[in-house]
Chain A
Amino acid sequence: MSTAGNLTDDVAQVLDEIASAGDCCRSRSALLRFMNEDAPIYRGKGTSEVDRLRAMIAVKLAGAGLADALMPYAVEEFETGTSAYSIAGAARVVRAASVLPPDIANLIACAMDRISTVDQFVDFDDGHDVAVTGRKTAVEEAREALRSAGAHSPGAHTGCCADVSAATAAPTASCCGDRDATEVSEVQSPASSVAALHGIEMQNQDGACAAFGDIFAGRPSLIAFFYTRCMNPEKCSRTISELGEVQRIIRQLAPDSDAMLAGISYDPQYDLPERLHRYGAERGLEFGERCQLLRSTGAFDPIRDALDLGVGFGSSTVNRHRIELFLIDRAGAVVHARLRRLWQAREVADLLLAV
């Protein structure tokens, strides 16, 4: 049974736009907006459908010559993706890319292991392909990517987008240097600030309310985003557990530090104080004035907009998000952001203490 057939009009339109993109690198790289978590095509849809659609779009974009620019998304999927389609899509990206990150083989192998219990045949046929080749499962797609990665000669470099391809590379100004291409970096300094959020009312895990500015102003802060209904154990659950580890490291290294550690929910209407408290406590957080889980009592949009968050919503909750961690200085400027990739508590604790 075709799983990709019967495309809805909005999906068919996006795939047509990608297929008909010209050769200009700039116009092609603009197509990367379809990989944004909050792209209109994903709004209101279920998580499993979003996973499938994003994979289909990634495959189409890779076919349009954007495989190298898509590498951060592929790496993200190999590191934390849990659906067969996500991994299969990432595998196709790897096979089309000209430059691969050094740790890609290990990431693919881990991903294959992770999806072995949900493996299924994947179908990326959108009706445009003249001939559909033999069907493969997601694990088979990943295995082919692994073979391709092994055959890759290190340092191969073709195409104008290749300079942003390596997931560990420093950000480079290039023709593909938009938001998504530059977030490849593990540490970056987005020129944003939380000043616009000072008046937003936040509520913590104990039900206490305070303005965002009163909670964070005048001290270095670490803000991680999460939601308690997240089904991906590699994302929110792990993020909050690591936040607890950061807390323990800071207590050891700098017991007098005034650094603030906070987790902010993407799903504030559902994540009421009791849920926040239980979720944090179960993951080792010791709540106090310097360590809190928070939700906005009003709309979440201002927070999402101020920090340009990578989160999309279905009809009742989040349908897709990336890993997002921000370090904020005493003046309220965002000085570091960790996006998409997993992070280590020790490294982040050191960064926070250096702010």
Chain B
Amino acid sequence: MNVKEYRAQVEAGLSAATNAPSRSTAVAGADAANSAASREQAWTEALAQLSDRSAPSEARRNALQVLQAGTFLGQQFDPMRARYTDALHGAITDPDSEIRHFALDVLIDNKDAVARQRLMDGLQGKIAPLLAPAAALSLLARDDHASAGTIARDLLAKSADVATRMQAVRVLGSDPGATDLIANILKDKDEFREVRRAGGVALKGLNPELFRNSAAEILGDSSDFQDIKSSVGGALERSGIALDDLK
């Protein structure tokens, strides 16, 4: 189910509830209990479907969506929460890459230690990688406390893949110890331009003063690329720093 379909479903539900004739409190209470019971049943079935790797992929993806939508119901979903996390842990090695990615995505947002460790182990070659390096790094980059800096440095030193390098720079954007490394990437004309731009964003977050100085250097370098100049110049302007002030 995509976002549009989900929205249409919620709107239809709301519309039905709003247009329903008024009923006694007792009847409404019974409806609510039935509704809660049917929701729980739907979640239980979804859990079973998700864990059944012989079931059709589309049905299993739908099951994931149903369960993830349930988490928005707060307390009502609490009795299912541990089983859902368990199912997500199982899904991170799923043969269906979409299910695998979805599970990792949710778990990393929840700062899950197992998902984090599996992604790190995959990047270090200790286990078969769960995702492509760039995708794994992009998930790890969401958490400042994931301690993925060492791996990101390693990949930056070894990988020639532009997407991997970009995401490694994003990870290091939360590591003040990598400030000089990132400043060098931003200024390195032999580096991929996408990676340099990612370096600009990272440096601006880590050390705005150093970013300002590096940007001034780039803007004053007639041999640097125009698109890089536009990127750093735009970032300065958005920070309220007039380009004339740098001269």
Contacts and interface: CB of A to CB of B under 8 A. Distances in A.
Interface string A161-193: 000000000000000000000000000000000
Interface in A182-229: 229
Given A47-B145, A317-B144, A269 B111 contact: no
B112 A48 contact: yes
Nearest to A318: B145
Interface in B54-106: 74-75, 78, 81-82, 85-86, 89-90
Contact of A269 (B147, B148, B150, B177): B177
Interface of A: 1, 3, 44-49, 51-52, 83, 85, 116-121, 137-139, 229, 231, 267, 269-270, 272, 274, 314-319
B145 A48 contact: yes
Given A315-B147, A316-B144, 15 more contacts: A47-B145, A48-B112, A48-B146, A49-B117, A52-B113, A116-B75, A117-B74, A119-B81, A120-B82, A120-B86, A137-B82, A229-B144, A272-B208, A314-B146, A317-B145
B174 interface: yes
B103 to A, nearest CB: 11
The majority secondary structure among interface residues of chain B is helix
Interface string B113-130: 110110000000000000
Given A3-B114, A46-B146, A116-B75, A316 B175 contact: yes
A272 B113 CA distance: 29
B176 A270 contact: yes
Given A3-B114, A49-B117, A316 B206 contact: no
B230 interface: no
Nearest to B78: A116
Contacts of B175: 315-317
A109 to B, nearest CB: 15
Given A116-B75, A229-B144, A317 B111 contact: no
A46 B147 contact: yes
A120 B174 CA distance: 28
B184 interface: no
Interface string B165-204: 0000000101111110000000000000000000000000
Interface string B131-160: 000000000000111111110000000000
B207 interface: yes
A1 B90 CA distance: 7
Nearest to B82: A137
A45 B90 CA distance: 23
Nearest to A230: B145
A51 B78 contact: no
A316 B177 contact: yes
A118 B71 CA distance: 10
B145 A231 contact: yes
Given A46-B147, A272-B207, A274-B208, A120 B116 contact: no
6 contacts: A1-B90, A48-B112, A48-B113, A229-B144, A267-B176, A272-B207
Contacts of A231: 111, 145
Contacts of B110: 118
Given A3-B114, A49-B117, A272-B207, A119 B78 contact: yes
A85 B74 CA distance: 20
A110 to B, nearest CB: 16
Contacts of B206: 270
Contacts of A316: 144, 147, 149, 172, 174-178
B82 A121 contact: yes
Contacts of B82: 119-121, 137-139
Contacts of B179: 269
